[in-house]
Amino acid sequence: MSDKLKKEKITIARLQHKKRSGMKISMLTAYDYPTARLSEEAGVDIVFVGDSLGTNVLGYHSPHQVTMNDMLHHIRAVRRGVQSSFLLADMPFLSYQSSTEKAVQNAGILLQEGGVEGVKLEGGMPVLERVEAIAKAGIPVMGHLGYNPQYQVPDANVFNEERGTIPKIQGKGPKGAVTLLEIGKRLQDAGAFAVVIELVTVEVASLMAENLSIPVIGIGSGAKCDGQVLVFNDVIGLSEFELSLLTPYTRTREKWLEAIKCYRESVESEQFPAAKHCTNMAPDKFAVFQSILKNRKK
């Protein structure tokens, strides 16, 4: 693809065209201006301010702690760094679950005050009414099926002796597979312009991408989706723990940690700052300065 095409504004129409043409869609989280600029320069289609900022940036224990104010603060920073990419944001926990009216209002706030071009919300049947209302209000909305981090119901996770408590893969049985496909179609009919499917079996993900006319963006759901979404920190290897759904494209954490250690050691050993990092007064002006100080002491 030419640089000219990459720099054209990414719109919903463009995303739909990519699906029809078999061109994969790239989607990546960004939480601030620098990460937004990097994603924009790299030609990422959808820059996504996810509620994963809670655990990846703010030190929260879960996405449930992320508020509308948190989202708006980070969305505004990302907005300043995005020009060509499509800017999408998560609707945080309890910003849409309690009522359809509140869902539309909060989606509008993210659009008007944050500057997003679309919102994403999690869930299946319970949120269909919300999706339809938001779409009818003129706000582009993306669905999210499969594993839903905001919905920590009793059977959302499983225990693994080697890895501890981990998210449960969705669509492993015929009944669950049929349900995912049916809800995907319902979301499409409700007005969703795309849907994320998280931790869904490859077979079900492939069928969803084949049977839905809207883009199906996968995370941990195989290569047959219309596109992929990942967390910025995971892509660059900044996370402390490596996830099973990807291999980091670089090992940023180790590089950053080594750089910080080198900085600390150079300060302690007085190697930093070196002479080339400093600015000196001209000798004659320094002499005048010393003379002034000497006279003040008298």
Q: Which amino acid is at 108?
A: G
Among residues 40, 198, 203, 268, which one is catalytic? 198
DSSP letters, 44-109, are -SEEEE-TTHHHHTS--SSGGG--HHHHHHHHHHHHHH-SSSEEEEEPPTTSSSS-HHHHHHHHHH
Hey, which residues does 164 pair with through a beta bridge? 160
Burial (CB < 10 A; 0-12, 13-18, 19+), residue 276, is exposed
Hey, which residues does 29 pair with through a beta bridge? 48
Q: Is 198 among the residues known to form the active site?
A: yes
- Neighbouring CB atoms inside 10 A of 66's CB total 25
Angle at which helices 33-41 and 68-81 pack, to 10 degrees?
A: 40
3-class DSSP state of 229: strand
3-class DSSP state of 20: helix
Return the percent helix, strand and coil in the chain, to nearest 5.
45, 15, 40
Instruction: Classify residue 13 as left (phi > 0), alpha (psi -120 to 50) or beta.
Output: alpha
Burial (CB < 10 A; 0-12, 13-18, 19+), residue 57, is middle
* Cα–Cα nearest to 46, from 140, 164, 128: 140
* Cα–Cα nearest to 63, from 133, 167, 215: 167
Q: What residues are annotated to the active site?
A: 198
